[in-house]
């Protein structure tokens, strides 16, 4: 099965950094970007895991908990604003 790629939009300055870095390292921009993302996420793995654990503690399977997790609002604040339909 062939691996499909998808375009990534970055600002001009970042694109120039990718282009110059890829040229200097004798690799494609695609290879450089993939390696950079892997390295960045690896370096922040604990931070990511902590955020995921925190989100999982908030979720209890109800629509209200899902809205709270997505918006960052507490369930109490959501109730103050009119609540979330649970059906």
Burial class (CB in 10 A: 0-12, 13-18, 19+), 68: buried
- 12 versus 87: the higher-pLDDT residue is 12
Encoded tokens for 37: 């993302």
Q: Domain total for the chain? A: 1
Residue 4 forms part of a structural domain: no
What does the pLDDT average to over 24-32?
Answer: 97
Tell whether the model's pLDDT for residue 20 goes beyond 80: yes
- Per the structure, the complete domain to which residue 61 belongs is given by 12-81
DSSP string for 16-53: HHHHHHHHHTTS-HHHHHHHHHHHHHHHTHHHHHHHHH
Residue 6 forms part of a structural domain: no
pLDDT at 46: 97
What does the pLDDT average to over 15-44?
Answer: 98
Q: Which of 1-5, 61-65, 75-79 has the lowest mean pLDDT?
A: 1-5
Q: Which residue has the tokens 């690799």?
A: 27
Residue 7 forms part of a structural domain: no
């Amino acid at each position: 099965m062939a691996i499909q790629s998808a375009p990534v939009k970055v600002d001009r300055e970042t694109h120039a950094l990718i282009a110059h870095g890829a040229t200097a390292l004798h690799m494609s921009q695609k290879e450089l970007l993939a390696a950079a993302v892997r390295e960045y996420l690896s370096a922040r793995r604990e931070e990511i895991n902590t955020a995921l654990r925190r989100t999982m503690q908030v979720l209890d399977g109800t629509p209200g908990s899902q809205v709270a997790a997505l918006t960052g609002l507490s369930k109490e604040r959501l109730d103050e604003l009119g609540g979330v339909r649970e059906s």
